[in-house]
């Protein structure tokens, strides 16, 4: 019974774990992507600042800041050995003086890391965006990007992604330099094909790890859900065992009580009051016996111990047989019963289908007033057969319809004043219909009647 709940818990755990794993993966990809992009942009701006210095043009503030930032991050120091020809006394004196200085005062040579800059190519352009000459020691990998040129002329600078002649992605920086420099624009590009390949490899790795993680998380989630529901499952099993055992234990004394009441009713001298009391006892015993039977059936349904033997059934023959038993009851209540089922075959269990029909017909008869009509019909509905039981009784208010198949649910006391019910009939009918791969639904209008539709597979 708790397996569907365990499955839902497993899916919930798995969804949360996948969400967290997805956030980690997206975060890792985004961090690496923005690291590469910021590093490329910094390298391009540093190279652009060097070019501005070479052509003797004042650095814009953004390039000056980029140059300073690059220098701080990519400059390292090489310690040098200081030579001293003084005598030992002077050396001793110098040593004493050095003790008062910071250890970082050791002579060093500053070197800037050029690895990120070596792949950058430069395109000097005139004011119309035409290449002036090739300052690079190799053939240019691309022609000037005119869209970037137009953007730089309009805004002063432009930074975007583009592609080389061979399709390799490139990060492109374009600056509109002052006219007195002899240039119109300077465009620089840094190929990022290797970085994009690393990003694709990262995605492939994340997907592989994700698939493996999903499998592991699925197994772990199923185990966690089972562990969480272990106590609930035990309580449920104990409840079902109690209901089954109590039902069996109650059947015997109820049978003896009814038999004793019948014997006492037959053997006593005629007494209307005593006879009425005995009749009430028998009716109450019958009601309790029916409740016990319903509880036992529900227990078997919940524990999946109810066996169903589906077979092709002639619906017209089965309904006619049922009508022969039901018509006397309808006539006694002055209710007209119309059997309009002439044909149709369904794939169902003969015993359980009959039980469902009895429950529904009994409900219809109980709530149809004198002079009313109960009709049973059947028609083909695609690959299924639809059975409809309708009456023109008191009907049901709309707010009660969603709850009619709930266990022990009763609309109100006035609907069952003539005959007592326990609120289990429709719940049992729904379970039995679904057990036979069917569906059941109710439509009703207050004061106009109720219709119950059963859809079962055609044979």
> Could you tell me the CATH number of the domain that includes residue 392?
3.30.565.10
CATH at 266: 1.10.287
As for how many domains the chain has, the answer is 3
Which of 302, 333, 355 marks a domain boundary? 302
Mark whether 322 and 420 lie in a shared domain.
yes
pTM listed for this prediction? 0.47
Mark whether 333 and 284 lie in a shared domain.
no
- Look at the chain and count its residues: 459
Report pLDDT digits (tens) over 255-300. 777 777 777 667 655 666 666 667 777 777 776 777 777 777 777 7
225 inside domain: no
280 inside domain: yes
The pLDDT of residue 356 is above 80: yes
**In sequence order, which ranges of 124-270 are alpha helices (DSSP H)?**
146-155, 193-228, 230-267
209 inside domain: no
Which of 196, 214, 242 marks a domain boundary? 196
Choice among 19-23, 289-293, 367-371 with the minimum mean pLDDT: 289-293
214 inside domain: no
Mark whether 235 and 353 lie in a shared domain.
no
Residue 337, domain extent: 311-457
Choice among 151-155, 202-206, 285-289, 308-312 with the minimum mean pLDDT: 285-289
Q: What percent of the chain has pLDDT over 90?
A: 26
Mark whether 342 and 412 lie in a shared domain.
yes
Report pLDDT digits (tens) over 432-452. 999 899 999 999 999 889 999
The pLDDT of residue 129 is above 60: yes
- Residue 360 sits at φ, ψ, to 5 deg, of -70, -40
Mark whether 107 and 138 lie in a shared domain.
yes
End-to-end Cα spacing for the chain: 29
Mark whether 38 and 175 lie in a shared domain.
yes
The pLDDT of residue 107 is above 70: no
Mark whether 191 and 69 lie in a shared domain.
yes
Mark whether 71 and 170 lie in a shared domain.
yes
88 inside domain: no
Mark whether 267 and 325 lie in a shared domain.
no
The pLDDT of residue 89 is above 50: no
pLDDT value for 296: 74
211 inside domain: no
- Residue 339 sits at φ, ψ, to 5 deg, of -100, 105
201 inside domain: no
Mark whether 281 and 147 lie in a shared domain.
no
CATH at 138: 3.30.450.20
40 inside domain: yes
pLDDT value for 101: 44
Which of 241, 269, 302 marks a domain boundary? 302
d(CA 345, CA 312): 6
Residue 281 and residue 261 in contact, taking contact as beta carbons nearer than 8 Å: yes
Mark whether 352 and 439 lie in a shared domain.
yes
d(CA 415, CA 418): 8
Mark whether 316 and 394 lie in a shared domain.
yes
């Amino acid at each position: 019974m708790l397996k569907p709940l365990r499955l839902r818990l497993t899916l919930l755990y798995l969804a949360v774990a996948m969400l967290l794993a997805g956030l980690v993966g997206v975060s890792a990809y985004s961090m690496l992507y923005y690291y590469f992009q910021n590093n490329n942009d910094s390298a391009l701006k540093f190279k652009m600042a060097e070019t501005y210095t070479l052509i003797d043009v004042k650095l814009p503030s953004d390039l000056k800041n980029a140059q300073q930032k690059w220098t701080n991050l990519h400059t390292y120091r090489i310690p040098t050995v200081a030579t001293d020809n003084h005598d030992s006394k002077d050396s001793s004196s110098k040593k004493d003086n050095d003790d008062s200085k910071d250890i970082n005062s050791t002579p060093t040579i500053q070197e800037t890391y050029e690895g990120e800059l070596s792949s950058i190519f430069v395109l000097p352009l005139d004011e119309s965006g035409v290449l002036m000459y090739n300052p690079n020691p190799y053939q240019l990998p691309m022609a000037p990007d005119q869209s970037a040129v137009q953007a730089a002329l309009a805004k002063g600078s432009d930074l975007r992604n583009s592609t080389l002649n061979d399709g390799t992605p490139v990060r492109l920086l374009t600056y509109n330099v002052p006219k007195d420099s002899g240039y119109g624009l300077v465009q620089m590009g840094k190929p990022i094909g290797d970085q994009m390949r690393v990003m694709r490899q990262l995605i492939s790795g994340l997907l592989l790890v994700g698939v493996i993680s999903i499998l592991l998380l699925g197994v772990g989630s199923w185990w966690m859900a089972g562990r969480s529901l272990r106590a609930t499952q035990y309580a449920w099993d104990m409840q079902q065992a109690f209901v089954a055992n109590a039902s069996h234990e109650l059947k015997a004394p109820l049978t003896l009580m009814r038999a004793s009441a019948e014997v006492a009713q037959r053997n006593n001298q005629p007494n209307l009051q005593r006879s009425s009391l005995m009749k009430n006892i028998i009716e109450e015993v019958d009601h309790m016996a029916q409740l016990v039977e319903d509880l036992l059936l529900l227990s078997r349904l919940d524990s999946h111990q109810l066996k169903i033997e589906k077979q092709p059934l002639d619906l017209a023959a089965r309904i006619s047989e049922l009508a022969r038993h039901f018509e006397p009851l309808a006539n006694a209540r002055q209710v007209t019963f119309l059997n309009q089922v002439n044909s149709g075959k369904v794939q169902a269990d003969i015993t359980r289908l009959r039980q469902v029909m009895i429950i529904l017909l009994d409900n219809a008869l109980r709530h149809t007033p004198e002079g009313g009509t109960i009709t049973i019909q059947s028609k083909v509905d695609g690959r299924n057969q639809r059975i409809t039981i309708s009456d023109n009784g008191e009907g049901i208010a709309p707010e009660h319809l969603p709850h009619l198949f709930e266990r022990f649910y009763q609309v109100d006391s006035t609907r069952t004043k003539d005959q007592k019910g326990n609120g289990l009939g429709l719940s049992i009918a729904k379970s039995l219909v679904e057990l036979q791969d069917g569906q059941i639904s109710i439509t009703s209008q207050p004061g106009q009647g109720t219709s119950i539709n059963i859809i079962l597979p055609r044979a």
